Amino acid sequence: MTGETPNAAQISGLHALTGNRVSPGSRVLREHLPATLGILAHEALEVLFLDQRHILIAHERLLQGSAQRLLIEPGFIFRRALALGASAVILAHNHPSGDPRPSPEDLEATQSLVRLGRMLGVEIAEHLIVVRRGCHAMLRTPITRPTALAAFFELNESAPGCVHERGSVCPTAAANARLAAGHRNRRRELIGQLSLLANPAWDMLIDLFLHAECGKQVSISALCFGSCLPMSTALRHVRKLCDSGLVTRQVDPLDARRSLVTLSNYALERVNEYFCSYTNNLWK
């Protein structure tokens, strides 16, 4: 199949949306991508960079090649997102074959990017497979649903090589969690804009996981303070984590005025598996 070249009007279409709210299901997006990306004879990846309210910041073509390259080079998407101050991205890549069904490589790359995005505070709002006749959305469930945190953990499979006693913290997972926390803190120092780049609930889970490694319990006030958010906002996130069953809350036996929080057994195992699946080369 010979690829066609998009004309100037087609190319500028999405750029005209800069400054407007964009959703993966928007009519303009689903009409525009097949006319520009879907007609190409080679595979390419386009990224829409969005702010916290999903306002389009930039639209760029970052990569040519198959989804396998995303598994090898995932960092360039997030480096660009952080440089632009983006809180979310919509990914779109084409299948020149015309088959919109995701390949095993597509699924693996998407799962890896969702996990890495959670670490870095950049939401993968959707990954679209584009062909001439339309788009296929690989992530159909909106991440803003109340069950989003629980649904996120359902993506995880048991990590190969994760050996630890149930209810304890895996040393490999703890090392990777510390690395993620270090990158989070470095990002705060260099970029700031906590309200735009923060992923508070996930950051709280990481903090609780690292305290579990040391056998320490954390008070709600200390957890909220460590999030660097306004207290009322931080408390709402703690309440959602407790309601979802990912965090357990109990009264401090030494001070009834204070409440302590820890990861639930379910969350502890899922975070173990999550961080055991990562290696340092993802941070290069």
What is the tens place of the pLDDT at every residue in 28-54?
A: 888 889 988 889 988 888 999 999 889
Provide the β-strand partners of residue 63.
45
Q: Quick one: average pLDDT of 162-170?
A: 64
Is 153 part of a structural domain of the chain? no
pLDDT at 149: 42
Mean pLDDT score of the chain = 77
Query: Do both 241 and 134 map to the same domain?
Result: no
How confident is the model over 178-229, as pLDDT tens digits? 888 877 777 666 665 555 555 788 888 989 999 888 888 889 988 888 777 7
Which parts of the chain fold into alpha helices (H)?
8-15, 27-36, 68-72, 75-84, 104-120, 148-154, 171-191, 194-197, 200-213, 220-226, 231-244, 265-276
User: Residue 73 — pLDDT band, cuts 50, 70, 90?
Assistant: low
Residue in 174, 184, 241 with CA at minimum distance from that of residue 212:
174
Query: Do both 201 and 118 map to the same domain?
Result: no
Q: Which residues contact 173 (CB under 8 A, 6 or more apart)?
A: 162, 164, 209, 271, 272, 273, 274, 275, 276
Burial class (CB in 10 A: 0-12, 13-18, 19+), 154: exposed
> What's the domain count of the chain?
2
Query: Do both 88 and 180 map to the same domain?
Result: no
Query: Do both 186 and 222 map to the same domain?
Result: yes
pLDDT at 50: 94
CA atoms within 13 A on the CB side of 109: 26
Torsion sign, CA atoms 61, 66, 71, 73: negative
pLDDT at 51: 92
Is 89 part of a structural domain of the chain? yes
Query: Do both 279 and 182 map to the same domain?
Result: yes
User: Residue 90 — pLDDT band, cuts 50, 70, 90?
Assistant: very high
Residue 210: give the domain boundaries.
Answer: 171-283
Is 152 part of a structural domain of the chain? no
Q: What CATH number does residue 230 fall under?
A: 1.10.10.10
Q: Quick one: average pLDDT of 144-172?
A: 50
pLDDT at 143: 37
How confident is the model over 115-148, as pLDDT tens digits? 888 877 888 999 999 999 888 888 864 433 333 3
Is 219 part of a structural domain of the chain? yes
- From 143, 163, 197, give the residue that closes a domain: 143
Query: Do both 90 and 205 map to the same domain?
Result: no
Query: Do both 195 and 116 map to the same domain?
Result: no
Is 148 part of a structural domain of the chain? no
Inform me whether the pLDDT recorded for 257 exceeds 70: yes
